[in-house]
Amino acid sequence: MAMIHDPHARPAVDCLEALEAGPDGLSAEEAARRLAEHGPNRLAEVRARGPVLRFFAQFHNVLIYVLLVAAIVTAALQHWVDTCVILAVVLANAMIGFIQEGKAEAAMSAIRDMLAPRASVLRDGRRITVDSVSLVPGDIVLIEAGDKVPADLRLLDARGLAAQEAILTGESVPVEKGVAPAPVDAPLGDRRSMLWSGTLVTQGAARGLVTATGQATEIGRIGGLLAGVEQLTTPLVAQMDHFARWLSFLILLAGALLLAWGYFVGHHDFSEMFMTVVAIAVSAIPEGLPAVMTITLAIGVQAMARRNAIVRRLPAIEAIGSVSVICTDKTGTLTRNEMVVTAVETPAGRFTVTGEGYAPVGEIMPEADLGAIARAAALCNDAALHDRSGHWTVEGDPMEGALLAFAGKAAGDLEARRLDAIPFDSRHRFMAVLTEGASGRVTHVKGAPERVLRMCADIDLDRWHDRAEAMARQGLRVLALAGRDETGDRIDEAALEGGLTFLGLVGLIDPPRPEAIEAVAECRAAGIRVKMITGDHAGTAAAIAARIGLQNTARVLTGADIDKLDDAQLALEVTDVDIFARTSPEDKLRLVTALQAGGRSVAMTGDGVNDAPALKRADAGIAMGLKGSEAAKEAADLVLADDNFATIAAAVREGRTVYDNLKKVISWTLPTNAGESMVLIVALLAGMALPMTAVQILWVNLITGITLGVALAFEPTEPGTMAHPPRPRHAPILSGELVWHVVLVALLFLAAVFGMFSYALDRGYPLALAQTIAMNTLVVLEIFHLFFIRNIHGTSLTWAAARGTRVVWTVVIVITAAQFAVTYLPTMQGVLGTYPVPFRDGLLIVAVGAAFFALIEIEKQIRLGLRR
Ligand code: ATP
């Protein structure tokens, strides 16, 4: 078994030897063998609560306590039927809560798996990307700024490397790292030659040898990273939970007063009065609400995941639905990030390059020797091209892949050994590599033209700036390449400034994504402003923005412009400008803050380590799943599995849908509860016969309250969802409109149920029949209300609206069948005290439901009309 002790204190070569590894990494077979031996590189998971515990946790609820007390009292009074019905309610509630919670937890853990980290390793001398769980001791891992270290690593090679190791050492300032061995007894934080699993690389680049994986790592040993199980909640759900709790408390208090009043003042029979009060309490408390809201969230999380948007922090699901500005990257998000070099310009002339994709086949026109610039493009490069039976793919940065393809078309011998490198950093915008080949030692530099041209000797700066500008205006991404003969085996950084020979400019096309163009238009219709924030050249940015269809493409603010503005000026400017070019990550943070200062709710994308503060600050921070760093993903609320702008628009749509569905659940539940309980309270206070017996109301509550409400969690996106402006930031959900709806529907319920009840009594029907009619009326009203609530943005009177979803119809059919059973089956009649309803009266009940539906639909149309 390959094992090593104290790798931090031994020279790197010793470590390689001890782990039987070479500089080219392991072979695929050896890696597989070691994986079988050492096991997956994964930390033991915290065990979630077991099913038994989860089931019993369902009983921990005010309503259930009330019901259990009621069951005991009714049993003491020997009202066995009541006791059984109450216990059935308790059990059904617990079962449904249990199943829903299980579904929600499963949804969340499936999503956690989608975010499994990946690592770049050398296997068989080639750089490949693997799931971090498959790393084994002896693997050579390539690390760059923003990565989360996938295993314990002994550094073989490091440049400007620093890591933040707070989870292990508590030290929040990044520690500099290097290859030199550390003293054997140095504490963890001082073992500078190691990178520890789970820590974050804040800058630099490195190559490290895996010395320990899984539980054998330092973090595994201290049992760290015990990521707590995330609570399935958002501010809104927490708010409603709180509200439901207070409401329950108030209802119980009112119930106790009612009981005292009924017994002492009204001189009602205690046991009957007690059952009535229990029924009122149960019908008034919106017990199912928090559970249904949770399932709505879980379904929303799944729907987003299906659309490639992975929710990392649940509150984001609410936030993303309310955004009014989306700040997005350009490359890979709005564009395809499938680059091709199409234009080259050297002091010798202008050239066009043909060919498709990353295949190194194509022509240079007019024919010329571009060997020097091609060598620079190929050697100052970290990517690799793979030929998969004619289909060429890139490992690494697609732009660098395109440069490799170009080099393959232009030059023959590109072999050279790398001696030193300065990695690309979006702050200095260039990269340099020193190699040794047939033509000796050369340092090649590539980067943003403004930066690289300044480093070159003897060139006409103005002319080349103009040329770069001209290429950018065509929407090309432009890079300048330069070189310098070197004598030593390290890059002489001081000599780079002003000491380079200019080799030429290359222009790469990166076509816009067609779906991004559509998505930008959709956002516009939804009142959401899309802004592009890019590190690219202003000219390129503006050209792409125009093709994508951003609103204002006339003005561009660059990072330098932003630096000149103070916060107040910036807040003014950001309103109107949609393109920000040559920006740094610090600018992103200022932009988010400036937009928020104007009361806007901002979504911001990011991929690098330095984007983390802006992602945290944004209302919805969005990281790129493919090209994003782990640091960005950890800071983000949402991760895009496909890096695609269209996915952001889809997430907004889903976010709005979830919010609407939460609102629908609330708008359906509260009036239902209010209506049900008011029917009983009014009858009781008026000293009339109750329109429903206590057992009947428990029944209605049991079967409808939970089933019908849950159906709303599955509602698909309404057609008008992306046709109206975003809801204001922090808009309360219990709005005036909602309160009005609760009052209106509760009153209509009251009128309809009492109306039918008195009609039945007037016709001389026995009390049991009148009560059965009243109960069925209530259920029919609830079903009609459900169909009404499904459409809050438009009319419910379309075929699509009436057709509904499978869930809605299943629930409606089940409930209708249940109502027929309790009304017409003799055994059920015995339990619930019901009486067969004549056919004509059955029709009348449905007609009353339809009339109720018509009334509230007309009221909605008037309300929507007034709003327009
Ligand atoms: P976008 O917002 O469009 O994604 P970006 O974030 O890719 O832009 P940066 O990565 O910051 O922008 O790059 C900024 C500039 O740095 C590029 O326009 C290019 O000129 C240069 N550049 C990018 N990558 C490299 C690289 N690997 N080597 C050299 N120069 C690079």
Q: DSSP for 818-857? A: HHHHHHH-HHHHHHHT--PPPHHHHHHHHHHHHHHHHHHH
The model's confidence at residue 227, banded by pLDDT at 50, 70 and 90, is very low
Q: Which atom in ligand 1 lies closest to the alpha carbon of residue 584?
A: 11
CATH number at residue 21: 2.70.150.10
Q: Is residue 62 part of a domain?
A: no
Atom number of ligand 1 nearest to Cα 446: 29
Collect all residues with Cβ–Cβ distance below 8 Å to 621 and sequence separation of at least 6.
316, 603, 604, 606, 614, 615, 635, 636, 637, 638
**Ligand 1 atom 14: the closest Cα is on which residue?**
535
Residue 456 DSSP symbol: B
Q: At 327, is the pLDDT very low, low, confident or very high (cuts 50, 70, 90)?
A: very high
Cβ partners under 8 Å of residue 299, min gap 6: 107, 658, 661, 713, 714
750 and 825 share one domain: yes
Average pLDDT rounded to a whole number, residues 86-103: 79
Active site residues: 329
Distance 536 CA to ligand 1 centre (A): 6
| Closest C-alpha residue for ligand 1 atom 20 | 448
Distance 383 CA to ligand 1 centre (A): 14
Percent of residues in the chain assigned helix, strand, coil, to nearest 5: 50, 15, 30
Residues 631 and 709 in one domain: no
DSSP state of 48: P
Give CA–CA dist 137/151, Å, rounded. 9
Edge-to-edge strand ranges of the sheet holding 638-640: 309-311, 638-640, 620-624, 602-606, 325-328, 529-533, 579-581, 556-558
Task: Specify the number of domains making up the chain.
Answer: 4
Nearest Cα residue to atom 8 of ligand 1: 535
Q: Looking at residue 572, what is its pLDDT?
A: 92
Number of neighbours of residue 808 by Cβ within 10 angstroms: 19
Question: pLDDT tens digits, residue range 242-295?
Answer: 888 888 888 889 889 988 988 888 788 888 888 888 888 888 888 778 778 888
Alpha carbon distance 754, 771 (integer Å): 10
Q: Are 86 and 281 in contact (CB under 8 A)?
A: no
Closest residue by Cα to atom 6, ligand 1, is 535
Same domain, yes or no: 664 and 788: yes
Distance 193 CA to ligand 1 centre (A): 30
In a domain, 90, yes or no: no
- Which tens digit of pLDDT belongs to each residue from 16-69? 888 888 888 899 999 999 999 988 888 776 555 677 887 888 787 777 887 888
Q: Are residues 705 and 749 in the same domain?
A: yes
- Closest approach atom of ligand 1 to CA 426: 11
Cα separation of 343 and 505, whole Å? Answer: 8
Banded model confidence at residue 177, pLDDT cuts 50, 70, 90: very high
**How big is the chain, counted in residues?**
868
Instruction: Give me the CATH number covering residue 558.
Output: 3.40.50.1000
Neighbours of 271 (CB within 10 A): 15
Q: Which atom of ligand 1 sits closest to the CA of residue 329? A: 2
Q: Which of 337, 426, 583 to mutate to test the pocket of ligand 1 (most atoms within 8 A of CB)?
A: 426
Residue 115 main-chain phi, psi, to 5 deg: -95, 20
In a domain, 524, yes or no: yes
Does residue 102 lie within any of the structural domains? no
* pLDDT at res. 762: 94
Q: Which of 334, 424, 537 to mutate to test the pocket of ligand 1 (most atoms within 8 A of CB)?
A: 424
Do 120 and 127 contact (CB within 8 A), yes or no? yes
Q: 200 C-alpha vs ligand 1 centroid, how far in Å?
A: 22
Domain termination residue (choose one: 464, 481, 509): 509
DSSP assignment, residue 382? -
Q: Are 705 and 671 in contact (CB under 8 A)?
A: no
pLDDT band at 226, cuts 50/70/90? very low
| 642 Cα–ligand 1 center, Å | 19
Residues 6+ apart with CB under 8 A from 563: 587
Atom of ligand 1 nearest to the CA of 330: 3
Ligand 1: atom nearest CA of 535 is: 12
C-alpha 426 – ligand 1 centre gap (Å): 6
Higher pLDDT, 92 or 405: 405
Residues 380 and 499 in one domain: yes
Q: How many CB atoms lie within 10 A of CB 743?
A: 13
Distance 736 CA to ligand 1 centre (A): 50
Look at residue 253 and give its three-state secondary structure: helix
Sheet strands (E) in 734-798: none
For residues 182 and 323, membership in a common domain is answered with no
| Residue 388 buriedness (CB in 10 A; 0-12 / 13-18 / 19+) | exposed
Beta bridge partners of 532: 328, 579
Please tell me the distance from the alpha carbon of residue 181 to that of residue 697, in angstroms, as a whole number: 76
pLDDT digits (tens, 9 = 90+) for 810-853: 889 999 999 999 999 998 888 888 999 999 999 999 999 999 99
User: Taking all residues of the chain, what is their mean pLDDT, rounded to a whole number?
Assistant: 88
Show which of 204, 227, 250 is a domain's final residue. Answer: 227
Q: Are residues 697 and 784 in the same domain?
A: yes
CB 468 within 8 A of CB 537: yes
User: What pLDDT, on the 0 to 100 scale, is given for residue 594?
Assistant: 95
C-alpha–C-alpha distance, residues 640 and 625, integer Å: 5
DSSP assigned state of 536: S
Residues 254 and 390 in one domain: no
Q: How many CA atoms lie within 13 A of 628 on its CB side?
A: 29
- Cα separation, 524 vs 288, in Å, equals 37
Residue with CA nearest ligand 1 atom 16 = 429
> Which pLDDT value is given to residue 760?
95
Tokens read off for 677:
């309980």
Decide: 210 and 141 in contact? Cβ < 8 Å: yes
Ligand 1 binding pocket mutation candidate from 425, 479, 579 (most atoms within 8 A of CB): 479
**Same domain, residue pair 731 and 849:** yes
Ligand 1 centroid–CA 535 distance in Å is 6
The number of C-alpha atoms within 13 Å of 29 and in the hemisphere containing its C-beta is 0
CA–CA separation, 235 and 386 (whole Å):
48
- State whether 349 and 486 are in the same domain: yes
Report if residue 726 sits inside a domain. Answer: yes
pLDDT at 225: 45
Instruction: Report if residue 449 sits inside a domain.
Output: yes
Ligand 1 centroid to residue 148 C-alpha, Å: 22
Strand partners, 395: 384
Final residue in a domain of this structure, among 446, 481, 509: 509
Rounded Cα distance, 174 and 162, in Å: 6
What's the CATH number where 349 sits? 3.40.1110.10
| C-beta of residue 770 within 8 angstroms of C-beta of residue 695 | no
295 and 246 inside one domain: yes
Q: Would you place residue 232 in the very low, low, confident or very high pLDDT band (cuts 50, 70, 90)?
A: low
- Domain with 139 in it: 7-45+110-227
Backbone angles phi, psi at 350, to 5 degrees: -105, 140
Sequence-distant (≥ 6) Cβ neighbours of residue 56 within 8 angstroms: none
Tokens of 618: 């944004």
**Cβ 262 vs Cβ 311: under 8 Å:** no
Residue 51 in domain: no
Please name the residues in contact with 806: beta carbons below 8 A apart, sequence gap of 6 or more: none
Listed in sequence order, the DSSP H helices in 598-719 are 612-617, 630-635, 645-685, 694-700, 706-713
Long-range contacts of 98-103 (CB under 8 A, 24+ apart): 98/51, 98/54, 98/55, 98/58, 100/291, 100/292, 100/294, 100/295, 100/298, 100/710, 101/54, 101/58, 101/291, 101/294, 102/51, 102/54, 103/295, 103/298
* CA 429 – ligand 1 centroid, Å: 7
Q: Which residues line ligand 1 (CB under 6 A)?
A: 329-331, 397, 399-400, 424, 426, 429-431, 446-448, 477, 479, 534-537
Atom of ligand 1 nearest to the CA of 533: 2
Q: Where are the beta strands (DSSP E) in 165-213?
A: 175-176, 194-195, 200-212
Closest ligand 1 atom number to CA of residue 479:
20
Positive or negative: CA dihedral 684, 686, 688, 692: negative
Residue in 549, 611, 555 with CA at minimum distance from that of residue 583? 611
CATH number of the domain residue 775 falls in: 1.20.1110.10
73 lies in a domain? Answer: no
Give yes or no: residues 630 and 674 share one domain: no
CA 471 / ligand 1 centre spacing (Å) = 16
Name residue 327's amino acid: C
pLDDT over 60 (residue 1): no
E strand or H helix that includes residue 89: helix 80-114
Measured by CA distance, the residue closest to atom 13 of ligand 1 is 535
Pick from 536, 550, 587, 626 the residue to mutate for probing ligand 1's pocket: most ligand atoms within 8 Å of its CB: 536
Are 757 and 693 in contact by the 8 Å Cβ rule? The answer is no
- Residue-wise pLDDT tens digits, 720-776: 888 888 888 777 777 888 889 999 999 999 999 999 999 999 999 999 999 999 999
